[in-house]
Amino acid sequence: MIDLRSDTVTKPTQQMRQAAFEAEVGDDVYEEDPTVKRLEATAAEMLGKEAALFVTSGTQGNQIAVLTHCKPGDEILLEANAHLFLYEGASMSALAGVQPRTILGNRGAMDPADVRAAIRPDDIHFPETGLICLENTHNKAGGAIVPLENMQQIYEIARENNIPVHLDGARLFNAAVASGISVRRFADQADTVQFCLSKGLGAPVGSVIAGSADFIRQARKWRKRLGGGLRQVGMIAAPGLIALTEMVDRLAEDHEQAKRLAEGLSQVNGIEIEGKVETNILLVNVGGLNQTSDEFLHHLKEQRVLAVPFGPETVRFVTNFDVSGEEIDEVIEKVHKLARNI
What's the angle, vertex CA 184, arms to CA 179 and CA 190, rounded to 5? 100
**What would the 3-class secondary structure string for 84-121 be?**
HHHCCCCHHHHHHCCEEEEECCECCECCHHHHHHHCCC
**What would the 3-class secondary structure string for 301-336 be?**
HHCCEECEECCCCEEEEECCCCCCHHHHHHHHHHHH
What is the spatial distance between Cα 143 and Cα 280, in angstroms, rounded to a whole number? 7
Burial grade of 104 (CB within 10 A; 0-12, 13-18, 19 or more): exposed
Q: At what angle do helices 293-302 and 325-341 cross, to 10 degrees?
A: 120
Q: Are 115 and 157 within 8 A, CB to CB?
A: yes
Using DSSP's 3-state secondary structure scheme, residue 134 falls into strand
Residues near 187 by beta carbon (within 8 Å), at least 6 away in sequence: 47, 48, 49, 167, 169, 172, 193, 210
Strand partners, 2: 305
Cis amide prior to 102 (ω within 30 degrees)? no
Could you report how far apart the first and last alpha carbons of the chain are, in Å? 21
Tens digit of each residue's pLDDT (9 = 90 or more) over 215-259: 999 999 999 999 999 999 999 999 999 999 999 999 999 999 999
Burial grade of 21 (CB within 10 A; 0-12, 13-18, 19 or more): exposed
What is the spatial distance between Cα 338 and Cα 140, in angstroms, rounded to a whole number? 26
Buried b / exposed e along 114-124 (16+ C-beta atoms within 10 A): ebeebbbeeee
Alpha carbons within 13 angstroms on the beta-carbon side of residue 325 total 5
What is the spatial distance between Cα 245 and Cα 201, in angstroms, rounded to a whole number? 10
What is the spatial distance between Cα 111 and Cα 115, in angstroms, rounded to a whole number? 6
pLDDT of amino acid 341: 86
pLDDT of amino acid 48: 98
Alpha carbons within 13 angstroms on the beta-carbon side of residue 160 total 10
Strand partners, 158: none
pLDDT of amino acid 342: 81
Domains of the chain: residue spans and CATH: 11-246 (3.40.640.10), 250-341 (3.90.1150.10)
pLDDT of amino acid 199: 97
Counting as low any pLDDT under 50, the low residues of the chain are none
What is the spatial distance between Cα 220 and Cα 91, in angstroms, rounded to a whole number? 18
Burial grade of 267 (CB within 10 A; 0-12, 13-18, 19 or more): exposed
What is the spatial distance between Cα 152 and Cα 157, in angstroms, rounded to a whole number? 9
